Amino acid sequence: MAGEFRLADIGEGLTEAEIVRWLVQVGDEVAVDQPVVEVETAKSVVELPSPFAGTVLHLGAPDGGVLEVGELVAVVGAAGETWPPSASDDTARPIVGSLSEDAQHLTPVAAPVQVAASQVQAVPLVRKLANDLGVELGGLRGSGPQGRITRADVEAAAGSLSSDGGGAAPADAERRPLSAMRRTIARSLSRAWSEIPMVSAFDDVDVSRLLSARKALAEHYGRAVPLDALLVAAVLPALREFPEFNATLEGDTLLLHRRHDIGLAVDTPDGLMVAVIADASALTLHGLAEEVVRLGTGARARTLSAAELTGQTFTVSNIGAVGGSGHGTPLVPPGTTGILSLGRAVDKPVVRDGRIEIAPMMPVSLSYDHRVIDGGTGRRFLAMLSGLLCEPVRLLA
């Protein structure tokens, strides 16, 4: 009997996955746990193994297709078996009045049924898509399991509306579907913007000594030390002094995290990803440097696990790494209360002991959830952090 391999939640709140490429084709023999397809989820690109051994009878979607949790990925059965199975006698009925053995049989065809929107079987993501595209779910026949309406059903209906003149793209415009990762980024940022009343504070920090210390460390270790490692090291004492920045607001309760799981924003070809340095306070500076390199490489290759891409308690975004030389207003990620953005250090005139000198000044931007952190606390956090960046010997002592 053929085995149905359906898409399961692989541990990151998965609602859908996009087929990157199939590693097998219909007719191929597969073993248990053999990778059969490469999919892109909201966070990573992973290979899905077959739970069955046998012959591939069916593939659930073409390359580039989108499957939702619970939908059919593939069917594996015995050689010579067909899919879908042939209709049984119970699903066919002879024409009334015919008693001969070769009587014509008709397969019943279900007509589309109009149902109330509340009765439609569709996940919240599909409902939102339908609302955004102006598609009435009640008028659709679902192609998913148990008649569930899928993303593809909604997009097909939206395409029909466009072809009828209801919202077609201009002749000089291109419709470009968002990737699974970009859709997740969009949802997360929309939630941050609508749910968190955040404010931002700014500073410019003289990082002359920080850059000198980095050079000395490179000579000591025999290799360059990522600036991000020093930035994370500077954040940790401030988080211990002001635990409100390492917290999660749950209703009327503020959950203060004991561990410092620092999210590190990484610019990748597919979009911004946040890799997480787990329990950063337990690492030495050398350990932080190694973890920054490892996570950055894994994020760009899309090989990090879900655990390495979720659960940050505070986020550091070094926009200077991509050429950003000014202040920004980073959005606080949902589930946290603060985020730090640092730009590229640029030589600027500064006044020291009544004299004008040139020094590398780094723009620092701090955004935080104003529901739990007042302006005074925000300024004190930023002042402490700026002091640590100015005097890095305090980090190394």
Q: Catalytic positions, please?
A: 370
Nearest CA-CA partner of 335 in 267, 250, 227: 250
Q: Is 293 exposed, middle or buried (0-12, 13-18, 19+ CB in 10 A)?
A: middle
Q: How far is 327 from 331, CA to CA, in rounded Å?
A: 13
Q: How far is 260 from 280, CA to CA, in rounded Å?
A: 6
H helical segments located in the chain: 124-133, 151-163, 180-195, 208-221, 227-241, 285-301, 375-390, 393-396
Characterize the bridge pairing of strands 338-342 and 314-318.
parallel
Q: Would you put residue 396 in left (φ > 0), alpha (ψ -120 to 50) or beta?
A: alpha
Q: How far is 389 from 395, CA to CA, in rounded Å?
A: 9
Q: Is 121 exposed, middle or buried (0-12, 13-18, 19+ CB in 10 A)?
A: middle
